A = this chain, B = another copy of it.
Amino acid sequence: MPDKPSNVKKEVKKVFEKESGKIVEHTVMNSITIDCVVFGFDKGSLEVLLVEHAEGISKGKWALPGGWIKEDEHIDGAAQRLLRELTGLNNIYLEQLKAFGDPNRFPLGRVITIGYYALVKREDYNVKAGFTASDAKWFKIKDVPDLIYDHNDIFAFSLKNLRNKVRQAPIGFNLLPEKFTLLQLMQLYEEILNVEMDKPNFRRKFLKMKLLVDINEKQKDVSHRAAKLYNFDSEIYKKLTDKGFNFEF
């Protein structure tokens, strides 16, 4: 491999192309890929979007969605593009995790991958389901199967990262519908952090932060007292953070 690097890299691309079913363009970078952990929240469960490899040595195995970086493209832009190609969604909440660089992570050559994680609203995703790869599927995070290469490591890292981040900044809203109740919000936190919370205390704590906008609407068609619906206002969040505001959960 070290003797004929460019040939090996062509070979790697060919194999990757076969396995992922994606065409590798000639203007992409060698030896670097992007892999995305896409989180969703549905019926109280945190889920992750995986794709199935159709051909090659990884046939039938599940993987994180990913792809190559174009020569003239920012890596963040590449991740956005790959997600758009997969989900049809623009402007997804997206952050880089880190680079994964075990020399043996990819069995057919030296490829470093840059991990990203994304948070999507399932309501948006469902609307544009027609755009999604036919072999893409949501898995509850407890049911994530064996993935190819080091994708289980990347997933584990992303989950740790999400748990950290959600206690530092209000990113959880990216997983909820536009309008939500305080209980939905609490259940999201409970699910992500894997803890049980006290409803009255959660209410007060969150409302005291003044991050939520009471939109004067209520739930409909529920067989119990209808709850108030709230919006998250990122403008308010910005103002509060500028003033030295501390989230922390």
A interface vs B, CB < 8 Å? 1-2, 5-6, 26-27, 29-32, 69, 71-76, 78, 96-99, 101-103, 110, 112, 114, 164, 168, 248
Contact = CB atoms under 8 A, between A and B. Distances in A.
Contact of A110 (B71, B76, B114, B168): B71
A71 B71 CA distance: 21
Contact of A2 (B30, B71, B103, B248): B71
A172 B75 CA distance: 32
A220 B69 CA distance: 59
Tallying the copies of this chain within the complex gives 2
Interface centre among A75, A76, A99 (most CB of B within 10 A): A99
Contacts of A26: 2
Contact of A75 (B5, B97, B101): B101
A224 B114 CA distance: 53
8 contacts: A2-B71, A5-B71, A29-B31, A31-B31, A31-B32, A72-B103, A74-B101, A96-B98
A75 B30 contact: no
A29 B110 contact: yes
A161 to B, nearest CB: 11
Contacts of A164: 168
A78 B103 CA distance: 11
A224 B98 CA distance: 48
Contacts of A71: 1-2, 5, 103, 110
Contacts of A76: 101
Nearest to A29: B31
A209 to B, nearest CB: 18
Given A32-B32, A98-B96, A73 B103 contact: yes
A99 B31 CA distance: 14
A74 B98 contact: no
Given A32-B32, A73-B103, A98-B99, 6 more contacts: A31-B32, A32-B112, A96-B98, A97-B98, A164-B168, A248-B248
Nearest to A1: B71
Given A71-B110, A99-B75, A101-B69, A5 B30 contact: yes
A13 to B, nearest CB: 12
List the 4 closest pairs (A to B, CB-CB), nearest first: A75-B101, A99-B99, A2-B27, A99-B114
